[in-house]
Amino acid sequence: MYKVCAFSGHRNLNAYPLDYNLLDRVTENLIKTGTEKFLCGMALGFDMAAAECVLNLKKKYEINLTACLPCADQSTVFSRGNKLRYENILDCCDEVITLSENYSSGCMHGRNRFMVDGCDALICFLRKKSGGTFYTVNYAIKSGKAIIEL
């Protein structure tokens, strides 16, 4: 049983299509076996899809969604539509943790380590052996965390 789970996955869901039904089933099964809290990094792509999945499941279950922002200005490069989506998700989160005021070269890795350090299991959508998700999965493995691959 995992009390706290974190999400990590690719930003580009066009290059790496996500099975949303699988995400829903895995997340709901985790809730049914005791997961109470989910950590999400709020990046475009998988992170925001995972956050929306948890928010939908909050209608049925008493669970917590915590947004872990690498920096306060994370959404400045988002399109208008994605910025609106981002703000709507943040408004529905139980908690928002901002790790840095401004973007810096290491803030994304810092956010990823923060989430791994605070979770029991990492739910990941990993399709390539490079980038932030690859780094995060390897950090989770080294940290002895359970890995749930979608």
- Break the chain into its structural domains and give their ranges: 4-149
User: In the CATH hierarchy, which top-level class contains the domain 4-149?
Assistant: alpha beta
CA dihedral 45, 1, 38, 48 (to 10 degrees): 10
Rounded distance between C-alpha atoms, residue 91 and residue 69, angstroms: 13
* pTM of the model as a whole: 0.97
Q: Give CA–CA dist 134/125, Å, rounded.
A: 9
Q: What sign has the CA pseudo-torsion 119, 124, 128, 131?
A: negative
Q: What is the pLDDT of the chain when averaged over all its residues?
A: 97
- pLDDT of 55 > 90? The answer is yes
Query: What do you get for the CA distance between the two ends of the chain, in Å?
Result: 18
What percent of the chain has a predicted confidence (pLDDT) above 90?
99
pLDDT of res. 1: 87
* pLDDT tens track for 57-114: 999 999 999 999 999 999 999 999 999 999 999 999 999 999 999 999 999 999 999 9
